[in-house]
Structure 1
Amino acid sequence: MTAPVITPDAMPDANPGWLPNDAFDPRSLRKTVLAMARAGSSGHVGCAFSIIEIMAVLYRSFLRYPGNDPRHPDRDYLVLSKGHGVMAQYACMRELGWLDDERHIQRYFGDGSDLMGLSDSRTPGLEVSSGSLGHGFSVGVGIAEGLRRRGTDQRVYAIVGDGELNEGPIWEGMLFAAHNRLGNLLLIVDANGFQAMGRTDEVIALGSIRQKFESFGFVTAEVDGHDEAALDTAIRTLFAGDPDAPKAIVARTTKGKGVGFMEDDNQWHYRHLSAQDYEASIEALRGENAR
């Protein structure tokens, strides 16, 4: 069954209507991530920062949640396969009113917290339990196949890391998606050049990710992953094309983006924020806002 064709001009507005125009501002989202990381003495700040703009664009303009219900049966699906970047998603969920400061942000990762340090499907708004890298994407492919069989216009947006592409299930999932013509699936790669223990090119060099994806049957674009306008245009253009082809975006990003001393520094994959680190990070974001 072929999914409905949606042109860029006809694409539905994901904004539920009550959100202000500046909702999902990347600087505010990064401040929320910092507050959570500081409250919970949590790592994974750098890998959350690299997907902030990707998350902002998806939640602001594309993801549809009828009635602002994260479990509505007609919703779109955001599958965060790189589950260790979940604080970026939590920050967006806070903007939607699904999380609140006192119960969730200030108690993150503490005793009695509702939120885990990895994506956990028991939390409304998180579609998969991920962190065992490579597997979340395959779950997303299965969801996309189910939606295709139902003939709905719902979509699956799956975010993976470039280091995660070392995992075989990624490529098995891509073969399945291309074979079954899952035009309702968009794979976004957070290509920040790092994985947990080093640079991706030093661990297992990937070569041209775009060419690999295209050889697997994905219609693919490559953009600056921190350029919100470029991300928005790429998503609209891909979905305005072949309605049956799975889509992919290689988003070139910077780990730790937004705070100068964190940028392109892989120690912020695991390093916890001290009080001094937190204050310096907030000050850096104020400076970014002034520009």
Structure 2
Amino acid sequence: MPGDDTLYRRYVALGDSQTEGVGDGDDASGLRGFADRLAEELARHEPSLQYANLAVRGRLAAQVHAEQLAPALALRPDLATVVAGVNDLLRPRFDADEVAGHLEAMFAALTAQGAHVATITVPDLARISPLARPLVPRVTALNQRIRQAARRHGVAVAETALHPVAGDIRMWSSDRLHASSLGHQRIAAALAHALRLPGSDDTWTHPLPPAPLATGWRTATTELRWLAGFLGPWLVRRLQGRSSGDGRTAKRPHLLPVQPDGSTPSRADTH
């Protein structure tokens, strides 16, 4: 585990849509996301920081392992984040040991090369959507294995699964699959705290101010809109064997300087 005085100069993010930043901005104006936010925080302490983001939306843990690990190792990071597995949770066939095995292989390879590695646990999806209750045992099993693998390799874990605020609907975008801008901000703060960055603390765990209570009719309408607007199209893609990441590449495949003022270059700026 790094100490408070550790400075990072090369940060590489591996993962899927959460790491890419879906839910924090859009494809037209650019995505930010927790990895960009964490890079900006790191740059406040080390202005020479360079940052690459290899994540691609829709990727399963096996695909992150197969497609992103080798490029990440080639960049020789001294810090890496590895966040994947939620797309696996949503598939009909899910094997917690297999998914965690891919995560652990990435933990092992990166730490063996000398990188500090950080990851997160998966929040209770049933608190975000009642329809996700059948996934709770899968989430529990995956989180247990993430923690075990992390202990074996000295990986820092941001325990988003343990704090009720992670289930606050305001922390999630309208599709309920990706964090909102506020959610990405809290994930970045959780990782900074797990890494013991200077100035980090546990305020990311604090609850949000009370929200107005929704009526039963309003709740039902919201559920129907979500089913039609997000879950339905997602199921259609699965049945057709398509992914939201088809044809996409990493938004930031090379190590580039970071501006600590929130103006980290987007995909359009890096090509």
TM-score interval, normalised by the smaller of the two chains? 0.3 to 0.5
Q: Which has the higher helix share?
A: 2
TM-score (normalised: structure 1):
0.38
Q: Relative CO higher for 1 or 2, CA cutoff 8 Å, sep ≥ 6? A: 2
